[in-house]
Copies of this chain bind each other. A is one copy, B any other.
Amino acid sequence: MSEMRDLKATTMPLLDSVVERLCHPSSLDAVWHRPAQGAAMPSLKDLTEIMERLRAAIFPGYFGSARVWRESMRYHLSANLDTIYRMLCEQIVRGFCFGCAGDSNPCTSCESDGEKAAGAFMDRLPEIRRLLAGDAKAAYEGDPAATSPGETIFCYPSMQAMLHHRIAHELYELNVPVIPRIISEMSHSATGIDLHPGATIGEEFFIDHGTGVVIGETCVIGRNCRLYQGVTLGALSFPKNADGTLTKGIPRHPILCDGVTVYAGATILGRVTIGKGAVIGGNVWITQDVPEGARILQERPRA
């Protein structure tokens, strides 16, 4: 039990007044969101559990039970996937309801959209694992301090970020509202790597150290790229609509071709293309295309 002070009778009117003001529509309406048809809101707690279960399904032995054997893996995997599917299906439906307009009979379509999306996502799990195995290989090969691919699975922020991203990106591609972003932010919080679920990332991707990396919604990254901490792949400016609001969804972030390396603190802004195998030096600021194989280093004032 948490430790508490007793409440004095004189404090009651104060609390009553606070409740009154917090329940007043003038206060409540500004933060109140009611999903279509009174559906429940997505649950951070359940999404957290889903991510833990997915991690254990994708990397058995590393996460979840530390005592997993090949012999009975099928047993636990079956049970775990059944639970994942049913929990995720519930959250995806809530996601659709959260976003839907709420006219006529939205929930029927949210339900069927949600179930379809959950099924399609499950079907992609083996592919997600294949991609993540490639990312672990890239991490091991890219970091002289790494002693085995297994070590990178256990504790590299890059692997945690990519686990979340490859899952969130599938859901993003399936047009699931809100949920992909919630998943991305879980990993942003844990790793300091801010990977928008919309970004398209090729095989064998590695981010070293990672803190402060930002990769925007419409980025396209090829195979075998490597980033270091503090790299920004961002937008240069935000086009506005006639009414002054931001235009949402247009391509505005960089394209990195295969084999690009971007060193720490570099900033690449706008829909520019960084050519195959190019190397962008630390702290460099890029707003134009870079040709294949180029090595861009900042001429910097020396101390």
Q: Which residues of A come within 8 Å of B, CB atoms?
A: 1-9, 11-12, 14-19, 21-23, 27-28, 30-34, 38, 40-46, 49, 57-63, 65-67, 69-83, 85-87, 89-90, 93-94, 98-99, 115, 118-119, 122-123, 125-126, 129-130, 132-133, 136, 141-145, 147-148, 150-151, 153-157, 177-178, 181-182, 184-185, 188-192, 194, 196, 198, 209-212, 214, 216-217, 229-230, 232, 234-235, 238, 245-249, 252, 264-265, 267, 269, 280-286, 290, 296-301, 303
- Residues in chain B near residue A93, CB distance under 8 A: 5
- Residues in chain B near residue A303, CB distance under 8 A: 280-281, 284, 286, 290, 296-298
Instruction: Kindly list the 8 A-B residue pairs having the minimum CB-CB distance in the complex, ordered from nearest.
Output: A79-B79, A30-B133, A296-B303, A4-B86, A75-B78, A155-B185, A21-B126, A5-B89
Q: Are B182 and A154 in contact (CB under 8 A)?
A: yes
Q: Are B74 and A76 in contact (CB under 8 A)?
A: no
- Residues in chain B near residue A296, CB distance under 8 A: 303
Q: Are A1 and B4 in contact (CB under 8 A)?
A: no
Q: Are A71 and B12 in contact (CB under 8 A)?
A: yes
A92–B283 CA distance with the chains assembled, in angstroms: 39
Partner of A129, one of B30, B188, B196: B30
- Residues in chain B near residue A252, CB distance under 8 A: 144
- Residues in chain B near residue A65, CB distance under 8 A: 1
Q: Are A30 and B211 in contact (CB under 8 A)?
A: no
Whether A246 touches B62, Cβ cut-off 8 Å, given contacts A74-B78, A155-B181, A157-B189, is no
A184–B234 CA distance with the chains assembled, in angstroms: 28
- Residues in chain B near residue A247, CB distance under 8 A: 144
Whether A77 touches B22, Cβ cut-off 8 Å, given contacts A144-B246, A192-B212, is yes
- Beyond A1-B2, A99-B148, A157-B188: 13 further Cβ-contacts under 8 Å? A1-B45, A4-B67, A7-B86, A15-B85, A23-B74, A32-B60, A75-B75, A75-B82, A154-B182, A189-B191, A194-B209, A212-B230, A229-B232
| Whole-angstrom distance between the Cβ of A293 and the nearest chain B Cβ | 14
| Whole-angstrom distance between the Cβ of A7 and the nearest chain B Cβ | 5
Chain B residue with the shortest CB-CB distance to A282: B267
